[in-house]
Amino acid sequence: MFELQEVCKSYVRRGHSVTALRASSLTIPRGDYAAIVGPSGSGKSTLLSVLGGMLTPDGGKVLLDSVSIYDLPVAKRTSFRRERIGFVFQTFNLVPYLTALENVQIPLFLAGLPDDEQQVRAETLLERVGLGERLHHKPSELSTGQQQRVALARTLANDPPVILADEPTGNLDPDSRRVVLDFFDQLHAEGQTILVVTHDTFVADRAKRIFHLADGAITEQSESSQLRVA
Amino acid sequence: MNIKKIAWKELWERPTAMITSLLAIALGVTALVAIRHITVFSEQEVKHQLSELGANILILPPAASLQDYYSADVNGGTLLEEHVSTVLLANLAGVEKLSPKLCTSVKVGGKDVILTGVLPQSEMNTQAWQSVGMFAKKNKHEGCTKASTGVVDTSPEALASLRTIEELDRFAVVVGADVAASTKLQAGASLVLFGTQFKVRAVLPPTGTVDDGRVFAHLHTVQELTKSGEVVSAIEVMGCCEDAAGGLVPQLKALLPDAKVVTVSQVVETQVGVNRLLAKSSIFVLGVLVLVGGATVASSTSANVRERRREIGTLMALGATPNLILRLFLLKATWLGLAGGIGGALAGIVLAVLLGPHWAGVTVSPLPSLAAIAVTAALGVTLIAAYWPARSAAQLDPCTCFREI
């Protein structure tokens, strides 16, 4: 279970303090599929960074499966993140000089798997996302939809129980967007916890719960239209 | 996938930056290795000359130039042969041997070689000493530092090391190693010089000096063939030890005011000065290597870190530790340092081998220890230069992976 307890975070820019998150609390049960919606500048990236163990908050706690992430030393936090959390980025963030196969191998290498196991697992994942014929293509040789699928395969490399997605369909055409959202549904059905940060209500509506983020505060929670319909 | 593969692929992704850094390091190492090689061998040659010839003095025509001891007699000018008797008459303490020489150019096997007329010591002893009746009263150098073995090497090959020959017939020659090799001459062969037939008495062992390109004949035969009269190009005075040589110089200058009297120390003085300059230059080049090479690598690595901020943030988000990021950049720097160092060292050695004989008149051979030091220096400079940018990369905020470009 993911839990934020009164987390706050500010930045100082040119002598002025900017509050990105203020006393925010959030609980995401295991296996949940939630969306956090907010306008540009509302603190979505800050929230994701804090949830992902990459940005130490000024106050409060972040708990994942009862472990306080920011009480861990940096090295332990890094390995904790590697094992438990997968990231999906808006701009895919693929390494441009590595092939699709090599990009998917990165988390496996960081987890310490030997080369041959990395290769087998990476190939399986790419075949799962429909890119079995594109293993040795670099990102520049793939369409945006294909790049995002490579990024998804990379996210799943270490089989993380939690997936944090930052505007995962922001740069995609409608067809590719549908593919990604269908994939999230599939992962959710398999038991993974998914948290999507987006300003797109269409994407948010695919989630089971929606949180609203405005001016650094998680202000309300609503059920998605799927649940309302149900 | 492993750290080496990531670093290697990234290196080739930006070939221009890689080549720039490589060149900056390699050029500095090339210059350093080349200069040091030439300096080392030049210093060795000077030391060798001083140790072999430290007790020798040359009496030369006044206009003779001093480039190299071994070719000091090939100067175009001449002295009267009677200066030999003058020196002998003076009975100076510490004079062990005298060797008057006359040099001229002659063609052997279609190539120009130096024909050097030398007076055999047996004739010197017989004629000169008897004529002045001083043989029994040779003036010994008191406190001479050289132990006398009393053994005289009469083989013609001794000319190469002792610079005198005991016996040489009027129509016999001794051939330098290079001349023998190019003309396939051996002991017992015949040779025609100035229309006169000579017999090859011996072939000298290689000396690495201009003597390898000479043919040695009897002094008086050469004087007759060249119709030069009783003149010599130089008179080599062998002192019994360096101390004696030091004392002989002013005496000889007083005795022969119209001649130039030089010791090997004076001859090599210019070379010693050049060696000092080269040694200082190599320190300067090392400084340039550190500054220019280091600055290029530091700048290139910093630019690389800036270009890859998002990539670094992503790697950290995926689980890369700061230590791994640091190692990634330092691994690249290691490869650049090694490649630049090794490439530069090899180029420097080739340059030194090719240019050594022309710049310093020395034969240069590779010195692995010197090359290893240069490679180590290049590697050290590269790693130090890359360390701070690499450290800043390792300290990057992983949140950069969420930021738009």
Indicate yes or no: CB of A106 within 8 angstroms of CB of B1: yes
Domain ranges across chain A: 29-56+73-229
User: With the CA atoms of A109, A114, A119 and A120 taken in that order, what torsion angle do they form, in degrees rounded to the nearest 10?
Assistant: -120
Query: What was the pLDDT predicted at B148?
Result: 52
For residue B160, name the pLDDT band (cuts at 50, 70, 90).
confident
Domain ranges across chain B: 3-48+271-402, 56-140+148-240
Look up tokens 């441009």; give the residue: A96
**pLDDT for B68 beyond 90:** no
Query: What was the pLDDT predicted at A131?
Result: 92
Question: What residue in A sits closest to B398 (Cα-Cα)?
Answer: A54
User: What does the pLDDT look like over B272-314, one tens digit per residue?
Assistant: 888 888 888 888 888 888 888 889 999 999 999 998 988 998 9
> A71-85, A144-158, A204-218, B334-348: which range is least confident on average?
A204-218
Indicate yes or no: CB of A109 within 8 angstroms of CB of B316: no
Structure tokens, A99: 């092939």
Nearest by CB: A45 against B13, B402, B405: B402
**Which residue pairs, CB below 8 angstroms and at least 24 apart, start in B104-109?**
B104/B222, B104/B226, B104/B228, B106/B193, B106/B194, B106/B215, B108/B179, B108/B183, B108/B191, B108/B193, B108/B215, B109/B179, B109/B182, B109/B183
What is the rounded average pLDDT of the residues A188-210?
90
Query: What was the pLDDT predicted at B138?
Result: 55
What is the rounded average pLDDT of the residues B356-380?
90
For residue A229, name the pLDDT band (cuts at 50, 70, 90).
very low
Nearest by CB: B314 against A83, A93, A109: A93
Average confidence score pLDDT of chain B: 85
d(CA B124, CA A92): 96
Which residues in chain B touch residue A109, judged by CB atoms under 8 angstroms apart? 1-3
Higher pLDDT, B208 or B350: B350
For residue B361, name the pLDDT band (cuts at 50, 70, 90).
confident
Yes or no: say if A78 and B320 are a contact pair by the CB < 8 Å rule: yes
Share of chain B above pLDDT 90, in %: 39
What is the rounded average pLDDT of the residues B74-91?
85
What one-letter code names the amino acid at B230? Answer: E
Question: From the candidates B402, B403, B405, which should be mutated to test the interface with A, based on the most A CB atoms within 10 A?
Answer: B402
**pLDDT for A228 beyond 50:** no
Smallest CA–CA distance, residue A71 to chain B, in Å, is 17
Query: What was the pLDDT predicted at B76?
Result: 65
Share of chain A above pLDDT 70, in %: 95
Specify the 3-state DSSP secondary structure of B342.
helix
**Residue B310 at interface with chain A, using a CB cutoff of 8 Å:** yes
Query: What was the pLDDT predicted at A27?
Result: 87
Which residues in chain B touch residue A48, judged by CB atoms under 8 angstroms apart? 402
> A111-120, B168-177, B259-268, B394-403: which range is least confident on average?
B394-403
Which residues in chain B touch residue A116, judged by CB atoms under 8 angstroms apart? none
**pLDDT for B346 beyond 60:** yes
d(CA B103, CA B16): 58
Query: What was the pLDDT predicted at A39?
Result: 79
Per-residue CA distances from B359 to B213, B266, B286 (Å): 19, 19, 20
**pLDDT for B337 beyond 90:** yes
Indicate yes or no: CB of A52 within 8 angstroms of CB of B322: no
With a CB cutoff of 8 Å and minimum separation 6, the contacts of B180 are B186, B203, B204
Question: From the candidates A89, A164, A167, which should be mutated to test the interface with B, based on the most B CB atoms within 10 A?
Answer: A89
Per-residue CA distances from B89 to B85, B137, B219 (Å): 6, 11, 21
Indicate yes or no: CB of A110 within 8 angstroms of CB of B318: yes
Yes or no: say if A229 and A223 are a contact pair by the CB < 8 Å rule: no
For residue A161, name the pLDDT band (cuts at 50, 70, 90).
very high
Smallest CA–CA distance, residue B305 to chain A, in Å, is 14
A167: DSSP letter: S
CATH number of the A29-56+73-229 domain: 3.40.50.300
**Residue A191 at interface with chain B, using a CB cutoff of 8 Å:** no
